[in-house]
A = this chain, B = another copy of it.
Amino acid sequence: MELRLLEYFLAVCEYQHFTKAAETLRISQPTLSHQIKLLESYVGTPLFKRVGRKTYITQAGHILLGHSQKVFYELDQANLKIKEIQGLKRGKLSISCSGNHLITPSVISFNQKYPEIELSIQALTTEETITGLLNNEVNLGVIFDQIQNDQIDFSPLFMEEFFIVVSAQHELAQLEAISFKELNSIPLIFLTQRYLIRQFIDQLCIQEGFSLRPKIELNSLDSLLEMIQFNKFATILPHSYLESRNNVTIKKIPIVNPKPQKTIGLVYRKNAYKDSTMDAFINHLLQSYNVTFN
């Protein structure tokens, strides 16, 4: 049975008159009669009582009428909601990032602009983000670069710089800058090797001819920051994270020669259809960091 038949049916119900209904439907009266007959054969019972010049709806007709109206209501609703998505009045987006701090400001401004769009943000490792993207569990990722996967598109957002971080009472607190090599002799706490930040710094150390030996390894930036407060250790943290935790009791010291920095970028599935929700968020992020966007 087809929707067209139900449309015809509703028109006949409205006018209780085949000829008038056919006119409004812009079809010929024989066609309408024929199609209603077809519908009646589908439901197995007459829907109208044709007596003389008048047409009445039968019991079965009344029942079908009610449910047909609901059918069209559902279709209208679906249409409306889809249009809302296209107009950014509705939507969902699942974002994965290597540290919430990377996108927190953008997320807030995006939500102010499009308050009806639901954002789900989770901090995951770069690896987890990629598998999430490939399994379609995640729409977007924000990660450090170095991705070599031809399924994934990468767009640079900004350059992340890494600082030595100590408490204000630490012996190094007054230094203007620290050269990279000095890391070899400073008592450090740092992230575990699962983290791309750690891997990145480790690699730089090898290039500089030594290897990093943190006194303590932890698996969250927040834990590192907390440990710093005991005045004993230094650690290395990304600039954007320090911005998000504007903490006066700590001191950040630039590292020089070489300056460790890394591109932060947006990743999503290559060739994937970007619905308007995703498109809007991507553009918003690029705009936030003054990246030219297409």
Q: Closest residue of chain B to A139, judged by CB?
A: B59
**In the bound complex, CA of A132 to CA of B294 (Å):** 71
Please give the distance in Å from A36's CB to the nearest CB on chain B. 14
B residues in contact with A44, CB < 8 Å: 82-83, 86
**In the bound complex, CA of A192 to CA of B200 (Å):** 108
**In the bound complex, CA of A106 to CA of B292 (Å):** 84
**In the bound complex, CA of A138 to CA of B67 (Å):** 24
Please give the distance in Å from A140's CB to the nearest CB on chain B. 14
Residue in contact with A273 in the complex, picked from B49, B67, B77, B275, CB distance below 8 Å? B49
B residues in contact with A250, CB < 8 Å: none
Q: Closest residue of chain B to A63, judged by CB?
A: B81
Contact B75 A74 (CB under 8 A): no
**In the bound complex, CA of A253 to CA of B60 (Å):** 49
In the assembled complex, A92 has its CB within 8 A of some CB on chain B: yes
**In the bound complex, CA of A2 to CA of B45 (Å):** 22
Question: 1/0 per position for A5-22, CB-CB distance to B under 8 A?
Answer: 000000000000000000
Please give the distance in Å from A68's CB to the nearest CB on chain B. 7
> Which residues A40-66 have CB closer than 8 A to chain B?
43-46, 49, 51, 54, 56, 58-60, 63-64, 66
**Chain A interface, >50% SS class:** helix
Contact A272 B49 (CB under 8 A): yes
Whether A75 touches B67, Cβ cut-off 8 Å, given contacts A51-B269, A51-B272, A271-B51, is: yes
In the assembled complex, A25 has its CB within 8 A of some CB on chain B: no
Contact A68 B78 (CB under 8 A): yes
Give residues in A with beta carbon < 8 Å to B.
Answer: 1-4, 43-46, 49, 51, 54, 56, 58-60, 63-64, 66-68, 70-71, 74-75, 77-79, 81-83, 85-86, 91-92, 136, 269, 271-273, 275, 277
Central interface residue in A54, A82, A86, by most chain B CB within 10 Å: A82
Contact B63 A71 (CB under 8 A): no
B residues in contact with A136, CB < 8 Å: 49, 51, 54, 56
**In the bound complex, CA of A264 to CA of B45 (Å):** 31
Contact A45 B1 (CB under 8 A): no
Contact A67 B59 (CB under 8 A): no
**In the bound complex, CA of A54 to CA of B271 (Å):** 13
Whether A91 touches B275, Cβ cut-off 8 Å, given contacts A2-B2, A67-B74, A78-B68, is: no
Q: Closest residue of chain B to A67, judged by CB?
A: B78
B residues in contact with A1, CB < 8 Å: 3, 75
**In the bound complex, CA of A275 to CA of B74 (Å):** 30
Please give the distance in Å from A103's CB to the nearest CB on chain B. 21
**In the bound complex, CA of A91 to CA of B62 (Å):** 11
Please give the distance in Å from A147's CB to the nearest CB on chain B. 17
**In the bound complex, CA of A71 to CA of B73 (Å):** 9
Residue in contact with A58 in the complex, picked from B56, B70, B79, B273, CB distance below 8 Å? B273
